[in-house]
Chains A and B, each alone.
Chain A
């Protein structure tokens, strides 16, 4: 494999230039992949939810499956009138969707999107392969809370500000258990690097620490603001929560970032607990190169399907129930899980 050799030689000789080139190529490719992926997630969610409710869902635009529905929606959002409320804090109001998008891209920079299996070795597809990428991703994922607060606070609407307060209260209740779960995984993997965490999973961490897996899933759903924990935009109580005053493409951007985050969050869950791209190599000439990608893709689709399933089945919790669950149950249990990981990990890892 001459190409790979020359690339790795170039990477060691000119690390800064290599990082610059990888950054530019990666930003172009990954922003495309993530945005198209988020559109597919939105379409898939509408289809699966309609199946759960025994109705059709999108079935007009783009044939029987309504695959072009999202394109039609985008055209509609772009041609809607741009309304900024007169009493809003204009600068913060305009910047909230932009900050949300920047936060999503920061997460996408450090998440491995899979690996290529060439010549008996796995080459992970990750732009910023930092030593602390698990910690970094977990921190960057929670930056969305800032965008939510900016949107809610600047709108100068009572429903929005209630949504923003609830969003922050919910986020800080689950940030700590989530961080402790990431640490528990890192203890067993002996590393905070996501690539090394995946490579160390001979036994999936979902089985090695089931308690941590459950806590992480709940904390992740909270972080993504999906249905049992979407108090910041509870439409039956506070209209639409933090994005009540947003309309047109400004609302579209905020909504879109939620699904970007849902996609990245499910990839993170698959990497940390479900073995990432590891799986048997398919012994067919071209499929064997991309077989790690196929495994990761399948896991992410299953995780996303389960997230939609949860949304279709569960009801929204009250905000005091949410904070109680976070502080009084999840935090002690996650510390217990960390103790378990430290003892078990030091003897069996």
Chain B
């Protein structure tokens, strides 16, 4: 495997870090199996709810408002994702010279337009009260 570092080489350490990140807490949890006392009773293992016996399950139906926020988040997060490839083109200085259009850089102009559309979408969502917490 000689030659230029490939993109995949940067991700080898990440796997090792992921394994180490899992081993440390698993070792701690294995240690308490040995050194910590374990005498469970029904009272100890019950859910805390103000000292009373819990009423019904906690997996409640939650407000539809959460879904609205989630949908708006997905829209904006995907649009932010589009900005990252733009950086990659914009960061390339050779490409920048190639695209010089008089005063205004073409890539900057396009992205300002995109940001403007984003802002209009956001103002629409705010005016429609999609982002009002109830």
Contacts and interface: CB of A to CB of B under 8 A. Distances in A.
A276 to B, nearest CB: 18
Across chains A and B, which 10 residue pairs bring their CB atoms closest together, nearest first? A105-B21, A23-B13, A320-B133, A23-B16, A15-B5, A102-B21, A86-B45, A172-B73, A109-B17, A19-B12
A84 interface: yes
Interface string A144-184: 00000000010111111100010011001101100110010
Contacts of A31: 20-21, 24
Given A82-B38, A324-B131, 20 more contacts: A14-B2, A16-B9, A22-B13, A26-B16, A78-B31, A79-B36, A81-B44, A86-B46, A98-B22, A102-B18, A128-B14, A158-B54, A179-B80, A183-B80, A186-B91, A323-B133, A327-B72, A332-B122, A335-B119, A339-B115
Interface of B: 1-6, 8-22, 24-26, 28-29, 31-33, 35-40, 42, 44-49, 54, 57-60, 62, 66, 69-70, 72-73, 76-77, 80, 83-84, 87-88, 90-91, 93, 96, 105, 108, 111-112, 115, 118-119, 122-123, 125-126, 131, 133
A274 to B, nearest CB: 21
B126 A327 contact: yes
Q: Which of A17, A187, A324: most chain B CB closer than 10 A?
A: A187
A27 B32 contact: no
Contacts of A103: 21
Nearest to B133: A320
Contact of B25 (A78, A244, A253, A335): A253
Nearest to A110: B14
Contact of B87 (A15, A157, A183, A346): A183
B108 A342 contact: yes
A81 B133 contact: no
Given A16-B12, A19-B12, A101 B29 contact: no
A216 to B, nearest CB: 14
B39 A15 contact: no
B50 to A, nearest CB: 9
B58 A15 contact: no
A328 interface: yes
Contacts of B125: 327
B35 A175 contact: no
A104 B133 CA distance: 31
12 contacts: A15-B3, A19-B10, A20-B13, A23-B12, A23-B14, A86-B45, A87-B46, A165-B62, A176-B77, A249-B29, A324-B133, A335-B122
